[in-house]
């Protein structure tokens, strides 16, 4: 059996998951991972404690990563038969000393609707959905970043991640096979050239991705993939559009590189 790992919070558990995953990714092994959000009552905490106490296997105590604000609930979780990793308490107490301020723990402050930037992030998500894949070129004044590239190179997931994670209104525009005979930027995009960022991809990887979507078609053929990537990269160089190769990067890495190159400030939520 795999060693049990619990991510627990009296909120969404996103913080516990992200920090816990970051730590465990350093170890080349698999875990049985369980996420339990909204542990907000004593009854719920005792129920979770019972689950933790019965999850030991061959003397291997479960790992428990938690970000619990309520002190009573935190004590219940920490007193279980586990190896607890308390993210909030680990960092808050030393920071109180350094800052000379007393922390004021509040439920749902990190990932809640009360966050002042919440509405801005929702607006960015809605904008990115409404301006996906060249649906509209009428509202580019409101875009902070415009991603361009061939079909299936990662524009849509990158646009949505920029909006959801960083609150950056991102439009994207695809160059399709019909554009390739005389590839140029549409006049609507030229007016916003300073916002444009290009994505490219290895033709072999593009062929694999497109074949899953539309096998044995001109769209997914190796020849078509090579031609489109070549033409688009030539356009980037001609127009001096910054671009990155997405082939070996996750969406998290792609968007981090975009922000690094463009100089856009990360908006934290």
User: Residue 124: its pLDDT value, please?
Assistant: 93
Q: Does pLDDT of 110 surpass 80?
A: no
In whole angstroms, give the CA distance from residue 268 to residue 23: 21
For the entire predicted model, the pTM comes to 0.78
User: Residue 96: its pLDDT value, please?
Assistant: 81
User: Residue 263: its pLDDT value, please?
Assistant: 93
User: Residue 269: its pLDDT value, please?
Assistant: 57
Of 99-108, 164-173, 237-246, the least confident: 99-108
- pLDDT above 90 as % of the chain: 75
Task: Domain 118-262: give its CATH code.
Answer: 3.40.50
User: Residue 267: its pLDDT value, please?
Assistant: 72
Per domain, the residue ranges of the chain are 3-99, 118-262
User: Residue 90: its pLDDT value, please?
Assistant: 86
| Average pLDDT taken over every residue of the chain | 92
Q: Does pLDDT of 104 surpass 80?
A: no
User: Residue 105: its pLDDT value, please?
Assistant: 64
């Amino acid at each position: 059996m795999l060693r049990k790992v619990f991510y627990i919070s009296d909120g969404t558990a996103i913080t516990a998951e992200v920090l816990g995953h970051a730590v465990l990714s350093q170890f080349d092994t698999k875990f049985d991972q369980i996420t339990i959000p909204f542990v907000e009552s004593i009854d719920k905490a005792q129920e979770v404690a019972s689950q933790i106490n019965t999850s030991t296997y061959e003397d291997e105590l479960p790992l428990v990563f938690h970000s619990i604000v309520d002190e009573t609930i935190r004590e219940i979780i920490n007193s279980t038969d586990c190896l607890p990793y308390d993210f909030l308490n680990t960092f808050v107490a030393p920071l109180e000393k350094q800052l000379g301020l007393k922390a004021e723990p509040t439920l749902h402050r990190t990932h809640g609707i009360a966050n002042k930037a919440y509405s801005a992030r929702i607006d960015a998500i809605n904008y990115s959905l409404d301006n996906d894949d060249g649906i509209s070129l009428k509202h580019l004044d409101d875009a902070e970043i415009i991603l361009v590239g061939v079909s299936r190179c990662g524009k849509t997931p990158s646009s949505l991640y920029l909006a959801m994670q960083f609150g950056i209104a991102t439009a994207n525009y695809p160059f399709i096979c019909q554009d390739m005979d005389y590839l140029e930027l549409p006049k609507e995009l030229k007016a916003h050239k300073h916002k444009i960022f290009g994505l490219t991809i290895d033709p072999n990887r593009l062929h694999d991705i497109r074949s899953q979507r539309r096998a044995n078609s001109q769209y997914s053929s190796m020849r078509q993939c090579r031609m489109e990537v070549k033409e688009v990269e030539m356009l980037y160089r001609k127009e001096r559009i910054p671009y990155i190769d997405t082939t070996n990067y996750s969406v998290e890495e792609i968007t981090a590189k975009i922000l690094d190159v463009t100089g856009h400030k990360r908006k934290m939520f």
